[in-house]
Amino acid sequence: MKNITITIDVEEDCPPMLTSTKGMEEGLPKLLDLFKKEGIKATFFVTGMMAEKYPDLITRIPKEGHELGCHGYTHARFDRMETEEARIALKQAGKVLRQFEKKLVSFRAPNLQFPAKYLKLLEKEGFLYDSSLAAYKPPFPRSRVEGKIIRIPATITSSFLRLPPALFLPLLKQAKAPVLFVHPWEFVDMSALPIRPDCKFNTGEKALQNLKTLIHASKAENCPFLTMEERASLEKL
Ligand SMILES: [Zn+2]
């Protein structure tokens, strides 16, 4: 690995299956504490609504050196919105999130669904980087520039980290510059809740231990932890 980018999509618990916010109350503080202890930086893509509801937690993100990014206003999918709705959602989210961090340049759409025709809206709202593509799904997109937006795909899906480390570590080490994404709710035990099996397996303490293992393995390779913004600026060169 040349470098690694850890991203966290900050939202309700496993949307749209649940509307609870255990991840916000229990998972997000655990993640922030872990990153602080390990001395690493990450990028948090936060919905405007979660920022309004949990201002004290969201304040910690830029204060502790992480990048604050945007994950829409609600967790509604942009591919199901008309242009005007999409424009309003981005504007509303930007307005809320910029109260926490003036420099808001990175975006990831809920469900990694963002029609290319809306990239112009991102530009207008001052975003420079988009991480709404999934490199692990056909047509397996790579980083690219579209208009003025640099698109850096997510390369590793969140449930990957909940597999046994003996399985995910070799795969991770093969990746040149992985962009991993996780959610605060994955670090809360969701096993008793009515959600899809792939969403609930190994959630809670096991997921947290696996994340620690991943961080330590990356450190052992002297692999730097980059925020989305840092990662994207390398792409420009
Ligand atoms: Zn999301």
The alpha carbon of 216 and the centre of ligand 1 are apart by a number of angstroms equal to 26
Token representation of residue 35: 């990153």
pLDDT at 95: 98
Instruction: State residue 192 phi and psi, 5-degree precision.
Output: -95, 0
The alpha carbon of 10 and the centre of ligand 1 are apart by a number of angstroms equal to 7
Domains and CATH numbers, the chain: 5-236 (3.20.20.370)
When pLDDT is cut at 50, 70 and 90, the band that residue 236 belongs to is: low
Token representation of residue 232: 């994207």
Query: pLDDT tens digits for 119-176?
Result: 999 999 999 999 999 998 888 899 999 999 999 999 998 889 999 999 999 988 889 8
Q: What is the mean pLDDT of residues 198-204?
A: 91
Own/partner long-range contacts of 195-198 (Cβ < 8 Å, ≥24 apart): 195/14, 195/17, 195/18, 196/17, 198/159
**235: pLDDT strictly greater than 80:** no
Burial class (CB in 10 A: 0-12, 13-18, 19+), 84: exposed
The alpha carbon of 180 and the centre of ligand 1 are apart by a number of angstroms equal to 13
The alpha carbon of 220 and the centre of ligand 1 are apart by a number of angstroms equal to 30
**237: pLDDT strictly greater than 50:** no
The closest alpha carbon to 122, from 158, 166, 70, 171, belongs to 70
**C-alpha Rg value of the chain to the nearest Å:** 16
Is the pTM value of this prediction over 0.85? yes
The alpha carbon of 8 and the centre of ligand 1 are apart by a number of angstroms equal to 9
